[in-house]
Structure 1
Amino acid sequence: MEKSPCVKDLQKVLFGGKRFGNHVDEVSPGLFLGDMSAANDRYMVWKLGVTHVLNAAHGSRCSEGNRHYYGDGVHYYGVPADDSPTFDLSPYFFPCAQFIHHALCTAGGKAAVLVHCAAGVSRSAALLLSYFMICHACTLMDAILKVKERRWIFPNKGFLKQLCALQVKLRQP
């Protein structure tokens, strides 16, 4: 079995490459990763065809979103995460992956999911990486490279450690 990369190796890969300045990017068909500016712009959310919003900064002052903010046509899931290396994001990996997967698989190809936090590079990126690992059997490195094709991300060190632990868990028979 091949050895998993350490957090320092992951950070080197994450730090490299072009840094995108968009508020929102489509990282795979119907799956958007964005910041609070994109999420708080209801017109932009509507224009993108977003049917589901996963807010990884729920309850923080930078995020206005909630169930009622977007109206009845948008399903909302809020994760009250702090962008701190000591915050345990791992209990949200499977529920968030399920939320994204269910949205993209049950709407006959007409769903679009916006995953966001304040800057769209750490909390939301970590949850999106866990989705690719859980639902698409990607390694953490493959998930990082997939997302980095479309958007610059940089989950904090604590989240990277939790994603490494998820990879170990997913590899267990």
Structure 2
Amino acid sequence: MSNVSATVTFQESCGSSSATPSARELVRILYGGKRFNNPVNEVWPNLFIGDMSVANDRYSVWKLGITHVLNAAHGRQHSQGSNAFYGPAMLYHGVPADDSPSFDLSQYFYSTADYIQDALDTPHGEILVHCAVGVSRSASLVLAYLMIHHHYSLLDAITKVKEHRWIFPNMGFLKQLRVLDEKLHTERYEKKFI
């Protein structure tokens, strides 16, 4: 079943695209679509998700026109990015996240969403969000960004990113994104009546 078909089927079964899918349903949707990636893909205008092979190649990052880097595997093996590594022409932000279902990535959702938005608000700003493989940690932070700053539901954010890159956040991150989705939905619903 294609990603779009799975999304439509889910929306029809629950009657709304605003309902948060179960973690199992999200896994089923994530399995759909292409299962290969380039080292880096533009998933939103001027917002790229990549793996450490591109992030560790300063020339490739420069060729992309990247002005900001968000490393979701900061300090981890083979992912030692820093301001010194990229030089003064590029801004760097590191998140020391483990790609483990027990790691609390949600503590970084708002700060990294703001960092991404600040990068995109910069004239000619382009941002690379990466981790080791570019499918779990970095993808989760980009999904949170789309939910927080562009009011996407989790399902819609997944669908949008999967148009350009295969992603697969681990089960713990999916559960944390579900909590964020429900929180944002409740906040937006309550604002309608204030």
Query: What TM-score does the superposition give when structure 1 sets the normalisation length?
Result: 0.96
User: In the alignment, what sits opposite 2:163?
Assistant: 149
Between the aligned partners of 1:53 and 1:88, the Cα distance in structure 2 is: 21
How much has 1:129 moved relative to structure 2?
Answer: 0.2
Matched, 1:46 2:62: yes
Identity across matched positions, percent: 59
Cα RMSD after superposing both structures: 1.0
Report deviation, 1:9.
0.4
Equivalent residue number for residue 26 of structure 1: 42
1:31-57, CA deviations, whole angstroms, 9 ceiling, x for partnerless residues? 000000010010000000000000000
* Greater gyration radius: 2
Tell me how far 1:64 sits from its aligned partner.
Answer: 2.6
TM-score for the superposition, normalised by structure 2: 0.86
Q: Which amino acid aligns with 2:148?
A: I
Worse-matched range after superposition: 129-138 or 10-19:
10-19
Q: CA deviation at 1:28?
A: 1.4
Question: C-alpha distance in 1, partners of 2:37/2:177?
Answer: 25
1:11 is aligned to 2:11: no
How many residues are paired up? 171
Greater percentage in helix = 2
**Cα distance in 1, alignment partners of residues 109 and 137 from structure 2:** 11
Unaligned runs of 5+ in 1: none
AA of the residue aligned to 1:123: R
Q: Which residue of 1 aligns with 2:144?
A: 130
SS at match of 1:54: strand
